[in-house]
Structure 1
Amino acid sequence: MAFAAPNPSNLGLGLRQLVDSYKRDRALAQAKAATSRTIQMDSQDRVLVNLHLDGKAPINVVAAALTRAGAEILAVDPNWRHGVISARLPLPQAEAIGATVGVQSVMLAHRPIHRIGKVTAESSVVEHAKQANTAGVLSNNGFLGRNISVGIISDSYDTAQGVPRASVGVAAGELPGPGNPDGYNQTVVNLEDDFSGGSTDEGRGMAEIIHDIAPAAKICFHTSGISQSIMALGIRKLRSNSNAVCDVIVDDIFFPDEPFFSDGQIALAVEDVASGTTLPGKKVAYFSAAGNSGNNGYSSGLHLLTGAQGQQANNAAGANKLDLSQVDPSLYAGGFHNVGSNPSPAIAIPITTDSVIPPLIVFQWDDPFDAGAVTTDYNLLVFDSDGNYVDFLSGTDDNFSTDEPIELVELDAEAKYFLVIALAGTKQTNPPTNPPPPQTHLRFISVNDASLSGPNIATNAITTAGHATAKHANGVGAYVYNLLAQTNPSYNQNGLNPPPGQYRPTLEDFTSNGGALAFYFDPSGNRLTTPDIRLEPKFSAADGVDTSFFPPNSTTDFDNDGFPNFFGTSAAAPTAAGIAALLLEAAGGPQSLPPDQITTTLQQTAVPHLVAVQVKR
């Protein structure tokens, strides 16, 4: 198939490299996409992309051009900047669409990341939900989440292959619905499920946790889909759809291209449902898994070396000696970030990757997304263990053209690399002036839970990111409900469910590092005079709890009760959401507590845990 136009520089997040590879060797490009854990390309060589518009043409005009190019439009979000269209785009047409009037950028849409970590959920015990549920303990009738609607956003609810159907869970009392043996007969409201293949019904696992804690609550579901636009639509529908009208919403999803230093497309949807007044329905208490990235990241202020200084540091005695002659000098025309000290500067960040999971590393800095205001173009250069430059792995987008301050690299598992943060240049677009100084707040995170090790991978690096850090979201960390189950091989020899107490909750070492996160921009992308500092995550809740089936094909039964254990902040977030449902009923029902007061109550009544007491998983 002929390619229609020269390769524009506004193809981002690996799309430009994929198009170039497809031109040179179609079979090789197809193989790369097939083996990638993040690229979403089908058998017709249609790749999932997000088209960010610039307002120079109406959304429907751009959509019509996409359709003529053979694209399948999956979702349109007019709420983010000038609009975003998620579509399956024939790869040979990517260049032509990138050059279409009205298109700011065409960005490869990488797979969403589920926050799963490596029956009667024990969270209902360790969180004291059983006491709240039981009549005569805290109230005459007990608190069960009556008249409270809890919405779930995850991959799928009842479409996964190789697992029991949801009706089996209803009959066993694990879920509400007609035929539930405990009388909780309200049908789960499934607004939209995922039928794209590869789903796991993680949303149903979350629903089982919520039902154990708040069994009388109404449960609703909407798939996160495979793009930010689909998820943002689902969040708004769970508040506004008349069949849902949720009081509480919880998700366990992160998209790799969500901003670190500002609120993005999904965070805007969270704010709409949690604090906005324009949508139908009630203001929602929103919970989101904070992530399982542990300390697998790097944060720093910029310490700039000129190109010549960087070359000199690279050639110094004892340096890692990278072959910079293999790198296009324009990629580091503005210099290098110094990861060493003033007496001993260095440009190479040595890392060793996870032994099993190929890491997806996202690098960002403090420029706004999609606001026509990117001032700095950085690159994340990748060198192999011998110091050779690996062009096809490096993140080298033209950030002025993509209008997004992000580079993304996908590395191999069980390998050694050197990463280099290089400055291509700066520019000021509004109003035009001489090149300004570069933005100075730098961070990269292994966002798909793959571990990184190396002298620069520090325990104080912030790895919590995305919409879980939205101003009115409750980012939820994870602690294992009972350390004793892991440290005592003979624990629960009688196979009781739930296992016998007393439980010893302990912070999971994989829960993403939080801290005082600085946000530098308002919702429109204008730089704030003073950064908005948010303490994230808001709190932690129990994971390692049981479900009847999730994770599918799991061999993990660390508490010896015959049921699979659900680990990760994906399990902790619905635990917190279920408790919020009990709080709302106890306070008088829907709208009896504003979302901010639910957050404050959970924080003030949480048991403090020492960060130093962690369990290695």
Structure 2
Amino acid sequence: MRSRLLTMPAAIALAGLLLGASAAASGAAATELPAPAGSADPGAAPADPGTAPAVLSPQLEVLAATASAPSSPETAAALAVAAEGAGSLQVDEAERVSVTATFAAAPDAAQLAALAGLGEVAAVSPVLPRVTVWITPADLAALAAVPGVTSIATDLAPSVGASGAVLATAQAGSPSSGASAAAAPDASCRSIPVDVDPVLHSDEARARFGVDGTGVTVGVISDSFDTSAKPVTTAAQDVALGVLPGPGNPCGFTEPVVVLNDAAGGTDEGRAMAQLLHGVAPGARILFSTAEPSVSGFAASIVQLTDAGADVIVDDVNYTTVEPMYQSGELGLAIDYATEHGVLYISAADNYNEYGWVGNPSAGHAIGGWAADAFVPMACPEAVVVAAAPVAVDCHNFGSAAEPDATNGILAENNGRGEFSMVLNWAEPVNGVTARIRPGLVTAAGAFEVLGQQPDSTIPSAAFSGALPAAGLYGVVVVRELTDRAAITPGFKFVFTEDESGTVQGLEHYISGEGVTVGPNIFGHTADENVLSIGAADYRTPTIAEGFSSVGPVKHLFGAVQTDGSPSLPLPEPATRAKPDLTSLDAAQTSFFAAPAGPDGAYRFSGTSAASPNAAGVAALALQHSPQSSADEVKAALKGTTSAMTNPYLNLTAADVHGTGLLDALAALEALPAAPVPAPTPAPAPAPVPAALAATGVETVQAVQLAVTATSVTALGSLALLAGVLGLRRHRRRVSSGI
């Protein structure tokens, strides 16, 4: 099926004025992006969405009615969001919040100007008619009244693929703690060794094939690069330490990281990712762009990095509350654009896995996700009924018809940071939401704790974040609202997203069976077919995946999100795929991320967001070694040459725990054809010496020198032509699939 195109000329034109020249460049280059193959026919009538939702999402309706400041703990509690970090309301110093407005069609200049008059336009999606705005809650009603706006969603802070413990220490860093990291480089010209080299065999690959990533451009997407309020080191110091490229790099890699867009006040996780990438592929050119403050901003960064020449893009971000579980979403459209331009797209698989602890009945089982093929209604606990009033509700039956059970008990640990979060999707397509199903948590005694909110009315997703008052037993509830909206019984899936393995230590209903699948927790864009999803293993224990590394499989029920706003059609058959695709290594040293916890005093970066840039570095080596190979061919080589690992879980296949196995750089390059060796150009016959000049020795020597010079120029011209052909081949490899 031919791709449909979304054009946004007016939006792009005004975006250039609102967002600056860099945003305009990315938008202008992305005025026509293809919809994914297999999507609904553009002429098909939209499915009946039932009662049209209000313009403001349920969560924003609560925010608009809340008297407390957006940044207050009271507001976080009212919205059932985290007080800070992943899953929190994004609030700036002026107490403005980040929200995304969806339009019925691509917004024109007047509509964008209206948004700019109410707040600050932060991002214009290059693939959907969506615009992100910083706005005060008092102006939400006026935003909802802008002509053409169909819905407004909350932009909760995303999750990144660093382990929760790493983030806690990174955010608590201080300038004084960087003293040891700023020591002079050692004789190897790097202050920090590349810990993963011996295990990934990337050092052997560089030596045997004479590659270091030169000629390959890698784009990195994360929270921020060099804007931390409490930096341990700065980017300039990292260059001097030899762990980032740039002028003054002691190893001679002087081309600096190009920062296209950065976010204020992040953890600089993108810089830590760049350090790991540079260690494996020191010659690669590195670009960075932030994923914040919204999915639309993330999509814009993907397109901008693609248009800036990235051969590989790697990210470690998941907008957990609004990335769909049952289909490819907005980010998938941007990734399709990248892959159709020849980009090899790599993403961290996330850190959402949980497992039953020894002594618990669910020991040995992965329990970080739970999915049902259908909602099975029964009465809710009384505390939930009271909390949901005046809306009538019922709950999912986790038990059987003979022994119904409205709660799925968990043994939860207060992880020291007080974090607990959960996101649920139900099986309806984006823009076709007719039901409202919410996750909740009750105490073991049945008392009410929290009920999730829906951040975006167009997406079948609801979530909550908060602090567990204490370790102990709780019950998960899945609550369906009984209103004038359709009373359907769709399948659903929930994932514990607190980003720290060990918070959930036991699960009551942990056995998969007819209509129930327990364990899988990979979702969002890293689950897409075009993405190389990366799991994590500690480089010191590389044969077993990290306990937090998210697991599959993934099941999609609908075609990708539609650019015209219509609901996607169901797939003829569910698309189930193993994820992650392979496993790479984490826990390697950086100059600042995160604070030392072990006796060696090293800053070690753990999480799938550390494993993914190491994989991107190997991909850069492979592309330099085999420039004629396509991204798909390199991806196949990376997946097809992995080494075996151990699966510790009783309820999952090995492929769904660690993909094809542990990445092996040397084996991957051995499996790829080397760059073709150009045929030598025959030297032309020497020009005859004129008889008149042959009588003197000086003129004869000069004539011979001229002939030799002519031959050299001919050879240089042949090399220049070859370089041009190779450059053209690389360009064609990147764009041929999209034209």
- Specify the TM-score bucket, using the shorter chain as the normaliser: 0.7 to 0.9
Report what 2:226 is aligned to: 158
The residue number in structure 1 matching 2:47 is none
Aligned to 1:35: 83
Alpha-carbon shift at residue 148 of structure 1 (Å)? 0.9
> Which residues in structure 2 correspond to 1:49-68 (within 5 Å)?
49-55=99-105, 58-68=107-117
Q: Judging changes above 3 Å, is the alpha-carbon distance between structure 1 residues 49 and 123 closer, same or farther for their aligned structure 2 residues? A: same
State the alpha-carbon separation in 1 of the partners of residues 487 and 58 from structure 2. 25
Which residue in 2 is equivalent to 1:109?
Answer: 155
SS at 1:250 equivalent:
strand
- How has the CA–CA distance of structure 1 residues 60 and 345 changed in structure 2, closer, same or farther, with 3 Å as cutoff? farther
State whether structure 2 residue 237 is matched by structure 1 residue 168.
Answer: yes
Instruction: Indicate how the Cα distance of structure 1 residues 582 and 23 shifts in structure 2: closer, same or farther if over 3 A, else same.
Output: closer
* 8 Å Cα contact 1:476/1:573 also seen in 2: yes
* 2:264 is aligned with 1:191: no
Shift of 1:21: 2.3
How far off is 1:408 after superposition? 1.4
Partner of 1:14: 59
Q: Which amino acid aligns with 2:253?
A: Y
Q: What is aligned with 1:443?
A: 494
* CA distance 1:419–1:16, shift in 2 (3 Å): farther
Which secondary structure does the structure 2 equivalent of 1:131 belong to? helix
- Asked whether the equivalents of residues 481 and 506 of structure 1 are also in contact (C-alpha less than 8 Å), the reply is no
Equivalent-residue separation in structure 1 for 2:560 and 2:101 (angstroms): 22
- Correspondence for 2:297: 230
Aligned counterpart, 2:15: none
Residue matched to 1:413: 468
Check whether the contact 1:111–1:226 (CA below 8 A) recurs between aligned residues: yes
Distance 1:396 1:478, change over 3 A: closer
Q: Match for residue 537 of structure 1?
A: 580
Give the deviation of 1:568 after TM superposition.
Answer: 0.3
Question: 149, 170, 179: which one pairs with 2:248?
Answer: 179
Answer yes or no: is the 8 Å Cα contact 2:324–2:459 preserved in 1.
no
In structure 1, the residue matched to 2:648 is 612
Which residues in structure 2 correspond to 1:220-369 (within 5 Å)? 220-241=287-308, 245-256=309-320, 257-274=322-339, 276=340, 282-295=341-354, 296-305=368-377, 309-310=378-379, 322=383, 324-328=385-389, 330-332=391-393, 335-351=394-410, 352=412, 354-357=414-417, 358-369=419-430
Q: Kindly tell me: are residues 101 and 388 of structure 1, through their superposed partners in 2, closer, same or farther at Cα, counting changes over 3 Å?
A: farther
Task: Give the letter aligned to residue 477 of structure 2.
Answer: V
1:586-617 Cα deviation digits (max 9, x unpaired): 21x3xx221221221111111121111899xx
Aligned residue type for 1:466: G
Shift of 1:424: 2.2
The alpha carbon displacement at 1:102 in A equals 1.8
Q: What is the rounded CA distance, in whole Å, between the counterparts of 1:179 and 1:26 in structure 2? A: 42
**380-389 or 403-412: bigger deviation:** 380-389
1:122, CA displacement in angstroms? 1.3
Deviation per residue, 1:118-141 (Å, 9 max, x gap):
31221122100111122xxx23xx
Any idea what SS the aligned residue of 1:531 has? strand
Report the residue type matching 1:529 in the other structure.
P
Q: Distance in 2 between matches of 1:34 and 1:347?
A: 25
Q: Partner of 1:555 in structure 2? A: 596
Shift of 1:544: 0.8
Q: For residue 24 of structure 1, report the CA deviation from its aligned partner.
A: 11
Letter in 2 for 1:290: A
Kindly indicate whether the alpha-carbon contact (under 8 Å) linking 2:422 and 2:494 is maintained by their aligned counterparts in 1: no
Aligned to 2:171: none
CA 1:269/1:34 → structure 2, altered by over 3 Å: closer, same or farther? closer
Deviation at 1:163, TM superposition (A): 2.1
Q: Which amino acid aligns with 2:147?
A: V
Does 2:549 correspond to 1:511?
yes
Cα distance in 2 for partners of 1:582, 1:611 equals 29
| Pairwise CA distance, 1:250 | 0.6
Describe the superposition over 1:397-448 as per-residue Cα deviations: whole angstroms up to 9, x where unpaired. Answer: 498xx222011111213545433212225889xxxxxx57432243333254
- Counterpart secondary structure, 1:237: helix
Structure number, greater radius of gyration: 2
Q: Deviations over 1:383-403 (max 9, x none)?
A: 34543335xx4225498xx22
Identity in percent: 28
Q: CA deviation at 1:327?
A: 3.3
* Alignment-derived partner of residue 597 in structure 1: 633
Cα distance in 1, alignment partners of residues 413 and 58 from structure 2: 21
Larger mean CA deviation between 466-475 and 572-581 belongs to 466-475
CA contact (8 A) 1:293 1:446 kept: yes
Q: What residue in structure 2 maps to residue 374 of structure 1? A: 433
Q: Against the structure 1 CA distance between its residues 111 and 436, is the aligned structure 2 distance closer, same or farther, given a 3 Å change threshold?
A: closer
Change in 2 beyond 3 A, CA 1:322/1:612: same
Distance 1:103-1:448 versus aligned 2 partners, 3 A rule: farther
Secondary structure of 2:507's match?
coil
CA–CA separation in structure 1 for the residues paired with 2:68 and 2:225: 39
* Structure 1 residue 34, shift from structure 2 partner: 9.4
Give, as a single letter, the amino acid of the residue that structure 2 aligns with 1:607.
Answer: S
The residue that corresponds to 2:279 in the other structure is: 212
Give the match for residue 188 of structure 2. Answer: none
Question: Are 1:356 and 1:414, in contact at CA under 8 Å, matched by a contact in 2?
Answer: no
Instruction: Name stretches of at least 5 consecutive residues in structure 2 with no aligned partner.
Output: 1-52, 166-191, 355-367, 512-517, 563-567, 650-656, 659-739
* Distance of aligned partners of 1:270 and 1:447 in 2 relative to their CA distance in 1, 3 Å threshold: farther
Q: What SS does structure 1 have at the residue aligned with 2:400?
A: coil
**Paired AA for residue 300 in structure 1:** A
Do the aligned partners of 2:115 and 2:143 also contact (CA within 8 Å) in 1? yes
CA distance in 2, matches of 1:26, 1:356: 22
* Cα distance in 2, alignment partners of residues 469 and 157 from structure 1: 25
Q: Tell me how far 1:542 sits from its aligned partner.
A: 0.4
Deviations 1:53-93 (A, max 9, x none): 233x8354443333333x1110111412xx11111111112
Deviations 1:255-290 (A, max 9, x none): 12211111111121111101x2xxxxx411111110
Change (3 A) 1:127 1:331: farther
Q: Hey, what does 1:431 align to over in structure 2?
A: none
Q: Determine the C-alpha separation between the residues in 2 that align with 1:356 and 1:10.
A: 38
Question: Residue by residue, what CA displacement relative to the aligned partner does 1:210-247 show, whole Å, maximum 9, x if unpaired?
Answer: 11111111111112222111111111111112xxx111
CA displacement at 1:36 relative to structure 2: 3.9
Deviation digits for residues 471-506 of structure 1, max 9, x if unmatched? 2111100000113xxxxxxxxxxxxxxxxxxxx543
- The 1:328/1:464 distance shift into structure 2, 3 A limit, reads same
- Give distance in 1, aligned partners of 2:237 and 2:70: 48
User: Once the two structures are superposed, what CA deviation does each residue of 1:182-227 show, in whole Å capped at 9, x if it has no partner?
Assistant: 2222222221222x22x12211111111111111111111122221
Q: Which amino acid aligns with 1:180?
A: N
Distance (whole Å) between structure 1 residues aligned to residue 221 and residue 447 of structure 2: 43
Return the letter of the residue paired with 1:515: P
The match for 1:395 is: 452
Query: In 2, Cα distance between the equivalents of 1:246 and 1:342?
Result: 55
Q: Secondary structure at the match of 2:446?
A: coil
Aligned residue type for 2:415 = S
C-alpha distance 409-457 of structure 1, shift in aligned 2 (>3 A): farther
Q: Report the Cα distance in structure 2 between the residues aligned to 1:294 and 1:27, rounded to whole angstroms.
A: 30
How large is the Cα RMSD of the aligned pairs? 2.9
Corresponding residue for 1:74? 122
Distance 2:92 2:524 in 1: 27
User: What are structure 1's unaligned runs of at least 5 residues?
Assistant: 1-7, 277-281, 315-320, 429-434, 484-503
Structure 1-normalised TM-score? Answer: 0.80
Deviation at 1:106, TM superposition (A): 1.5
Question: Which of the numbers 195, 199, 203 marks the counterpart of 2:270?
Answer: 203
Q: Secondary structure at the match of 2:116?
A: helix
Alpha-carbon offset, residue 159 of structure 1? 2.3
For residue 468 of structure 1, report the CA deviation from its aligned partner.
1.0
Structure 1 pair 88–121 and aligned structure 2 pair: CA distance change class (3 A)? same
| 2-structure distance, mates of 1:323, 1:189 | 51
- Write the distance in 1 (CA, Å) between the matches of 2:82 and 2:500: 21
Structure 1 residues 600, 211: CA separation in 2 closer, same or farther (over 3 Å shift)?
Answer: same
